Chains A and B, each alone.
Chain A
Amino acid sequence: METQQQLDDFQARIDAGEKIEPKDWMPERYREQIIRMGSQHAHSEIVGMLPEGNWISRAPSLKRKLVLLAKVQDEAGHGLYLYSAIETLGVRRSELIDQYLYGNAKYSSIFNYPTLSYADVCVIGWLVDGAAIVNQTKLAHSSYGPYARANLRICKEESFHKKQGYEMVAKLAEGTPAQRKMVQSAVDRFWWPTLMMFGPNDSNSPNSAELLKWQVKLNTNDELRQHFVDRVVMEAEAVGLTLPDPDLKFNDETGHWEFGEIPWDEFWDVVKGNGVMNRERMKSRRKAHEDGAWVREAAQAYARKKNLSREKAS
């Protein structure tokens, strides 16, 4: 049973800016929240390899293939950092993976949208990784030590992701009419889903209050979303692309860009599993996992054999 004293002492540590480490006392609920949030973050990195992986073989030049390969490999690594951080709480990675492959665990809905052209890959780098940077820069200060450190590591690599995307977007935007049309179409399709990445409005986010109190996250969904919009509007302007929001307007008083109402029905529908690519993503992931079982088993068998022969020799 958790005593009020224990909870108060824990809150005092959080308020003093201390990091919670794996063996420290923590409320059971804190542990549950970190596992839920962190593992879904990890699943997102792995599933996020799919929409871009789709274009590796069709990226327009050797350079762009190398860049895209490197980015997609990085995402695998990010997933691994995050699983490793969450495992410190006593859950096994294989359990967590089962939960999203066969259970109810979620991953970021942005990855349930299709990549219809190469320009989509460029726009994903610019907007989606850009949004992830805004989020992860703050999560690097999360109260749970291993999760904060994993995010710090991720941030160092994420800036190349955004830059390569924005560089390509700029090139396409100043290219042929067909290229300009292709990149503008990608922006039109990815803008609202990107804004949805920051999650529901604060008033509709049931987990937020607890996560903020315990400094698992340090900013509200709406704060981060606003921060992102303020930055990206200028970046879009700089490359001559429009954002598909007729209500975008700079507010001189607040110093922020106001934006229109997010299509929340679409957000909840995709979260429920009805996005264009939900089933396809899960099918791909399950197949990869199941087809790879023999590799995992073979490696174990080989290790066992080596151990046996080593023991026999000694």
Chain B
Amino acid sequence: MTKSKLMSENNEKDWPLWEVFYQPKNGKPYEHAGSLHASDAENALQNARDVYARRNEGIGIWVVPSDQITASTPEDMGSFFDPASDKPYRHPQFYSVPRAVKKRS
């Protein structure tokens, strides 16, 4: 096989990219672990177990095709998250309450 033929074959035949999430312990949220290439969902799940849960790091795994994820971008950062920045009344610190003192008998 010539070098150029092999390189063009690679371009057409890349396995799709999947993002891997796993649940580290019962009750915890799923975390992003990284990505991997696999030809289909079943292989993606098995590969994810072999690569990202090799030492029981996770008790549950999700795999998602990378192009199915919609993400905010850093350019959005300002205006997209802005509505939350000037609403201090959403936080408990905004409120003053009397200190309830426990009665001592």
Q: Find chain A residues with CB under 8 A from B1 CB.
A: 290, 293
Out of A21, A24, A81, A302, which one reaches B40, CB within 8 Å?
A: A302
Could you tell me how many residues of chain A have their Cβ less than 8 Å away from some Cβ of chain B?
34
- Is A308 an interface residue when CB atoms closer than 8 A count as contact? no
- Is B63 an interface residue when CB atoms closer than 8 A count as contact? no
Would A84 and B15 count as touching, CB distance under 8 A? Answer: no
CA distance in complex: A200, B42 (Å): 45
- Is A313 an interface residue when CB atoms closer than 8 A count as contact? no
CA distance in complex: A80, B52 (Å): 10
Given A290-B1, A299-B43, A23 and B74 touching (CB < 8 A)? yes
Could you tell me how many residues of chain B have their Cβ less than 8 Å away from some Cβ of chain A?
25
Closest to B20 in A: A84
Q: Find chain B residues with CB under 8 A from A73 CB.
A: 54
Would A94 and B14 count as touching, CB distance under 8 A? Answer: yes
Closest to B54 in A: A77
Tell which of A85-93, A211-219, A250-258 binds the partner: A85-93
Q: Could you list 20 further interchain pairs (A-B, Cβ under 8 angstroms) beyond the known A94-B11, A98-B10, A303-B39?
A: A21-B74, A23-B73, A23-B74, A25-B74, A73-B54, A74-B54, A77-B54, A80-B36, A92-B14, A97-B10, A102-B3, A102-B7, A146-B34, A149-B34, A293-B1, A293-B9, A299-B40, A302-B39, A303-B40, A306-B40
Given A77-B51, A80-B36, A290-B6, A87 and B17 touching (CB < 8 A)? yes
Closest to B33 in A: A153
**Which residues of B pack against A, CB within 8 Å?**
1, 3, 6-7, 9-11, 13-15, 17, 34-37, 39-40, 43, 50-51, 54-55, 71, 73-74
Q: Find chain A residues with CB under 8 A from B35 CB.
A: 84, 87-88
Per-residue B-contact encoding for A100-123, CB less than 8 Å = 1, 0 else: 001000000000000000000000
Would B73 and A299 count as touching, CB distance under 8 A? Answer: no
- Is A34 an interface residue when CB atoms closer than 8 A count as contact? no
Q: Find chain A residues with CB under 8 A from B6 CB.
A: 98, 102, 290, 293
Closest to B43 in A: A299
A/B interface sample: 7 pairs, CB < 8 A = A73-B54, A81-B51, A102-B3, A146-B34, A153-B34, A157-B54, A300-B13
Would A85 and B37 count as touching, CB distance under 8 A? Answer: no
- Is A150 an interface residue when CB atoms closer than 8 A count as contact? yes
The 5 nearest A-B residue pairs measured at CB: A299-B39, A94-B10, A303-B40, A84-B35, A303-B39
Would A93 and B37 count as touching, CB distance under 8 A? Answer: yes
Q: Find chain A residues with CB under 8 A from B54 CB.
A: 73-74, 77, 157
Task: Please give the distance in Å from A142's CB to the nearest CB on chain B.
Answer: 15
CA distance in complex: A134, B47 (Å): 29
Closest to B4 in A: A102
CA distance in complex: A300, B14 (Å): 9
Closest to A160 in B: B55
Q: Find chain B residues with CB under 8 A from A153 CB.
A: 34
Closest to B38 in A: A299
Q: Find chain A residues with CB under 8 A from B34 CB.
A: 81, 84-85, 146, 149-150, 153
CA distance in complex: A25, B55 (Å): 35
Given A23-B71, A23-B73, A84 and B36 touching (CB < 8 A)? yes
- Is A297 an interface residue when CB atoms closer than 8 A count as contact? yes
- Is A296 an interface residue when CB atoms closer than 8 A count as contact? yes
Of B7, B34, B55, most A-chain CB atoms within 10 Å: B34
CA distance in complex: A92, B37 (Å): 10
